Structure 1
Amino acid sequence: MLVDRVGELLAPARGEAARQLLPLAEALGAAPHPRSVLSWLHRHSAAALLAGLAAEGQAITHEMLDRMPRMKSTRNVRELLVGTGVLPARQENLARLETWTSSFVGALPAGQARLIGPYARWHIVRDARRRAARRPYTSRAADADVRGIRIAAAFTAWLDHEDLDLAELTQADLDRYLTEHPTKHRGTRAFIRWAITRRLTDKHLTAAAPRWPFPSDFLDTDELDAQLSRCLNDTGLPREIRIAGALSRLYALPLTRIVTLTADRYTQGTDGHGYLTLERNPVLLPPKLDRLIQEQITGAASTSMICPHTESPPFLMPGRVPGRHRSINWLYTQMHKHGLPVRPARNTAMIEAVTRLPPIVVADLFGIQPGTAESWARYANASWTAYLAARREDAGRSVRSTDTARLRGPHAAGGE
C-alpha cells in the first residue's frame, strides 16, 4: 500500500526529475514507520508541493527551492531531498544569510547599497563562510550576522538623514550616534572598524568596545552538584536530558554545541576510559556519563520519518529530520521542564573552570575563543568574590566561595 501511494505521488515525474527522485521513492517505500509516511502523504502540504515539483519534470535544485516562498512546506521538502541524497547537503543557515543579504542590499537606496553591499558580502558573509568551514553555522549565528548588517544599514541611513558623509564623519558625530543608539553600539563599532581599514573614514575614529556584562545568574555550588548528580544518577530523566545536563555542568557547553556533537566525537582509550572530543583534544568523561553516551550511541532511536541517506557520522542526538540533530529549542524547553536551567549552570561551570585551569587550557578544551576565556578569568578574579558575598547576604546562608575554584574531575557527583 505504501509503495503504491508513493508511486501515485511521484507518477507525474518525467525526464530528469523522474531519475532524480528515485532515491526518494525508495526511501519512502522502505520507511521504518509506514503509517507516518502514509499520514504525511495524505495530509502534509509538503507532499503536495513535492508532487507539483515532480510534475514539472525539471531537475530540482537548491536554487529552485530558494526562489520559492519561505514556507515550512518548502523547508520540509528540501530537508527530505537532502536526507535521501537527492540534493547535496549544505549549511542552510549560511545559505539563508547569503540569500537574505542579496535581497536586503538590493532593496537599499543606491548610496547606502554602495557601502553596505561590500561590507555585507565581503566582510560579514565571507567571515560567516570561514566559520561555517570550521564548525556548524547555527541559526543564532545567522541571526547575529543579519543584525550586524541591519545595524550598519541603520547607521548609513542616519548619516543620510543628518546630511553627513562617512569620509567626513567626526568623533563628535560618532559619539552622538552611539549615545542616541546604545543598543546598536557593537554593530556600529564593527562597521566603523571595517570602514577605517578600507580608508573610507577618518582613521582616528574610535568606538570603545562595549563593556562585557558580568553574568548575574549563577547557581550555588551545592545546587550545581545536586543537579549534576541528578543528571548522572536519576534514571527517571530522559537520557538525552541527562547527557546535555551533565555536559553543560561539567564542561560549560552551550546547547548549540551539544546538539551538534556527532557519535564519532566519542572514543575509548587504551586505558578503558571514555573520552569526548569537544574541540581538538579529547576530554576524560566520568564513568557514568561515559556509559550514558555509549547507550545513546548504540540505542538512540531516530524520530525521522525515513532513514537518512548520508555518509556523515550520526548525531549524538538525532532529530526528526533525516540526517539532522535535535532542535535546540526542543532541548532547551525540555531542560527547563525537568528543572535543569541552562544559563546559570553554564556560568557557574565556566567560573569553576577558569579559576582552576589557565584560560588558554579552558579555551582549548572547551572550544571557546581565548579572549572569551581570558575575560571570564578576569571577571572571576575581580567580581566572583564580591558576587558570592552579596548572594550570602541576600540569601542569608553560607556559600563556600573556596569551592568555586574546583573544576569537577571524573569522580565528582556520583561519577564513581
Structure 2
Amino acid sequence: MTRPRKAGDPAKWPEACARCAEHHKVAVRWPDGGICGYCYQQAKRTRGTCACGHEGVLPGRIDTLPACRKCSGVRLNVDCIGCGTEDELHSGNRCWSCILAMTVDRLLSPADNQPPSPALQAIGTALKSMKRANSGLTWIQQPHVTEFLQQLAAEPVITHARLDELPASRTREYVRGLLVEHNALPRRDELSTRFTAWADQALERIASQNHRDIMRRYIRWHHQRRMNQMDEVTQGTFLRAKQAVTVAIELLNWLTAQDTELTEVNQAHLERWQAEGPTTRGIASRFLDWAIRTNLIDPSLRLQPHRRGTSPRLDAAAQTELVTTLSHTADMNPRNRAAASLILVFGQQVSDIVQLTWENVTVTEELVTITLGTVEIALTPPLDEPWRELAATPTHHQTAAHPRSNWVFRGGLPGRHLQASTLTEQLSAWFSSRAARLGTLHELTKLAPVAIIAEALGYSPATIDRHAIDSSANYAQYIASAAATRKAPR
C-alpha cells in the first residue's frame, strides 16, 4: 500500500514531481522527468499489459498511459533472481513473495532439519501463495508471531487440544483459524469451547459444594445442551449464557452467606437479594426458571425480570438525511456503507448483517438484489453502489485467512465473519445502530402489514407486531391530542 502523502513543500522542494505535480523530494529521474518518492513507489507496483503486449510491471509513462521499461526508457530493476518474474523487489534482488517463502520455510522447519509437520506444511503453503505477500511478511516477522510459530514447529503433532494448552492469545487463535481453513485441523465451534473453559473456571467461584453441583448441572443441561443443538453458537448466545451464569453464581453465593440452600429459598430471600443489588440481578430469573423446571425450588417463586429502559430511535427525517449523506460520502468504506444501508433502510440487526454470505446477494450488470427474509429485494441506485464495489474487490481476499470464504463481511480471524461488535463500533462514528434500526422498523410498520414486513426482512411476526403496536400507539396519542385541541374553547 502506498504511504499516505504528506503535504508538499515548495520552499523545501522547488521542483514539482513530473507525475503528481506536488512538491516532494525527487527520488529518481526518468524520461518523463523528476519523480517523487510516492510516485516512485507507485510506479514499482503498477502492473498490467503495455501497448506493446508486454505483461508485468509498467513503471513508465507514455502520455498518460502506463508503459513497460522498454517502451518508456525507464531504468528500474524489477527482475527477481528467485522466481524470475517482474515484481517489486524486497531485498537481495528478490521479490516480496520469494522473501516470504524463504522466511516461512525458515520459521516452520524444526530445529533438527526434519520436514515440518503436515499441519504446518499446510499453513506454509497457504502463506507462500498469498497474493499480498507484503502483508504476510509483515505479520510473520512480528516477534510474538515468530516465537509462536517456532514453538509449533517443535511439535510433532498439532491438535486443538495441544493448542489449548498454549497460553491464550490472538496469535494462537489466528493460527488455529489458518489450520482449520486449510484443512489441517477439523472445524469446531470455538465459542462453545470458550464457554466450556470459562464455565469450568466460574464454578470455582462458588462457595458451597452443593451449590457448585447445582450450577454444574445448570451449565451442562441448559446452556451447553442448547449450544450443542445449534449449528453455530452466536456471539449473542455466548455472552447471554455467561451473564446468566455470572448472576446465578452471585445469587447462590449470597444464599450461602445467609446459611441457606437453594432448595430452602423463599420469596423473601429473593426480594431482599434483588433489592440490595443492581437491576441486572433480575437476569437470575433465567436460572430460577430452570430450577423450577427441575423441581429444585417452589414453582411460585419469582424475581422482578430485568428490563431495559426505552431505547431511543432515530426519527424519519434523521434517517433520510443519513441515507442521503452515506450514499455519496467518500469518508466511509464500501463495506460499512453497505451495512449502513441495511440498517437505515431495512431495519436489519448488525448480528444478522455480519452473517450474510454471497449466496444472499446477487450482483448483475442490470441489478443488485439481496435476500433478507424469504423475499429477494432489489437495491436501487445509489444503494447498490457499495455492493457492486464489494463484489468487485472483496476484503481480505489477498491473504491466507479466507481462501474459500463466502462471507460478505469477512473478519480478521481466518474463515470468520466480522464481529457484530466491531461493525457496531465502526458505524458509531456516524449513528447508533440500535437507534437507527428501531427508527426504521417504527416507520416501516406504518407502511405495510406486519406479515409482509416480517417475511421480507426476516423478522418474526411477533417482533414486527410489537413495533406496529408501538407505532400505532404513538399515532393514537397524536389523534387524541389533535382531537382535544379541536375541542378546546377558543
Shared fold per TM-score greater than 0.5: yes
Q: Is the 8 A contact 1:94 1:137 kept in 2?
A: no
Q: Which amino acid aligns with 1:52?
A: Q
* Aligned residue runs from structure 1 range 7-406, under 5 A: 7-12=105-110, 18-58=117-157, 60-106=158-204, 108=206, 109-130=208-229, 132-133=230-231, 137-138=234-235, 140-211=236-307, 213-215=309-311, 217-235=312-330, 237-267=332-362, 273-302=367-396, 305-306=399-400, 308-310=402-404, 313-337=405-429, 339-383=430-474
Q: Is the 8 A contact 1:275 1:282 kept in 2?
A: yes
Q: Which amino acid aligns with 1:87?
A: L
**Matches of 1:103 and 1:281 in 2, distance apart?**
45
Q: How many angstroms does 1:327 deviate by? A: 4.5
Q: Which amino acid aligns with 1:62?
A: H
Secondary structure of residue in 2 paired with 1:275:
strand
**Matches of 2:352 and 2:372 in 1, distance apart?**
9
Q: Is the 8 A contact 1:83 1:323 kept in 2?
A: yes
Q: Is the 8 A contact 2:191 2:234 kept in 1?
A: yes
Q: How many angstroms does 1:282 deviate by? A: 3.2
**Matches of 1:208 and 1:16 in 2, distance apart?**
63
**Matches of 2:419 and 2:457 in 1, distance apart?**
22
**Matches of 1:151 and 1:166 in 2, distance apart?**
14
- Tell me which residue corresponds to 2:46: none
Q: How many angstroms does 1:328 deviate by? A: 3.9
Q: Which amino acid aligns with 1:227?
A: L
- Tell me which residue corresponds to 1:399: none
Bigger relative contact order, structure 1 or 2 (CA pairs below 8 A, ≥6 apart):
1
Is the deviation greater in 34-43 or in 45-54? Answer: 34-43
Q: Which amino acid aligns with 2:271?
A: D
**Matches of 1:181 and 1:360 in 2, distance apart?**
41
Q: Is the 8 A contact 2:211 2:262 kept in 1?
A: no
Q: How many angstroms does 1:70 deviate by? A: 1.8
Q: Taking structure 1 as reference, are residues 303 and 268 closer, same or farther at Cα in structure 2, changes over 3 Å only? A: closer
Secondary structure of residue in 2 paired with 1:222:
helix
**Matches of 1:281 and 1:101 in 2, distance apart?**
40
Q: Which amino acid aligns with 1:122?
A: W
Q: Is the 8 A contact 1:31 1:307 kept in 2?
A: no
Q: Is the 8 A contact 1:305 1:320 kept in 2?
A: no
Deviation digits for residues 358-414 of structure 1 (CA, Å, limit 9, x no counterpart): 445444443445544343333333357769999xxxxxxxxxxxxxxxxxxxxxxxx
Q: How many angstroms does 1:281 deviate by? A: 4.0
Is the deviation greater in 81-90 or in 94-103? Answer: 81-90
Is the deviation greater in 92-101 or in 235-244? Answer: 235-244
Secondary structure of residue in 2 paired with 1:227:
helix
Q: Is the 8 A contact 1:304 1:321 kept in 2?
A: no
Q: Is the 8 A contact 1:105 1:117 kept in 2?
A: yes
Q: How many angstroms does 1:265 deviate by? A: 0.8
Deviation digits for residues 200-227 of structure 1 (CA, Å, limit 9, x no counterpart): 1111223344445322x22231221111
Unaligned runs of 5+ in 1: 391-416
**Matches of 1:129 and 1:327 in 2, distance apart?**
21
**Matches of 2:304 and 2:464 in 1, distance apart?**
20
Q: Which amino acid aligns with 1:141?
A: T
**Matches of 1:145 and 1:384 in 2, distance apart?**
38
Secondary structure of residue in 1 paired with 2:383:
helix
**Matches of 2:135 and 2:361 in 1, distance apart?**
32
- Tell me which residue corresponds to 1:395: none
Q: How many angstroms does 1:330 deviate by? A: 4.3
Structure number with higher strand proportion: 2
Deviation digits for residues 291-343 of structure 1 (CA, Å, limit 9, x no counterpart): 43233123223266425333xx5211223333233344543343233x34322
Q: Is the 8 A contact 1:303 1:319 kept in 2?
A: no
Q: Taking structure 1 as reference, are residues 17 and 189 closer, same or farther at Cα in structure 2, changes over 3 Å only? A: farther
Q: Is the 8 A contact 1:303 1:320 kept in 2?
A: no
Q: Taking structure 1 as reference, are residues 187 and 336 closer, same or farther at Cα in structure 2, changes over 3 Å only? A: closer
Is the deviation greater in 168-177 or in 282-291? Answer: 282-291
**Matches of 1:268 and 1:254 in 2, distance apart?**
22
**Matches of 2:391 and 2:276 in 1, distance apart?**
52
Unaligned runs of 5+ in 2: 1-98, 482-490
Q: Taking structure 1 as reference, are residues 299 and 260 closer, same or farther at Cα in structure 2, changes over 3 Å only? A: same
Secondary structure of residue in 1 paired with 2:377:
strand
Secondary structure of residue in 2 paired with 1:283:
strand
Secondary structure of residue in 2 paired with 1:193:
helix
Q: Which amino acid aligns with 2:415?
A: G
Is the deviation greater in 368-377 or in 315-324? Answer: 368-377
Secondary structure of residue in 2 paired with 1:309:
coil
Q: Taking structure 1 as reference, are residues 221 and 123 closer, same or farther at Cα in structure 2, changes over 3 Å only? A: same
Q: How many angstroms does 1:11 deviate by? A: 1.1
Q: Taking structure 1 as reference, are residues 233 and 39 closer, same or farther at Cα in structure 2, changes over 3 Å only? A: closer
Percent identity among equivalent residues?
26
TM-score normalised per structure 1: 0.81
Q: What is the aligned-residue RMSD (CA, Å)?
A: 3.0
Secondary structure of residue in 1 paired with 2:369:
strand
- Tell me which residue corresponds to 1:408: none
TM-score normalised per structure 2: 0.69
Q: Taking structure 1 as reference, are residues 224 and 150 closer, same or farther at Cα in structure 2, changes over 3 Å only? A: same
Structure number with higher helix proportion: 1
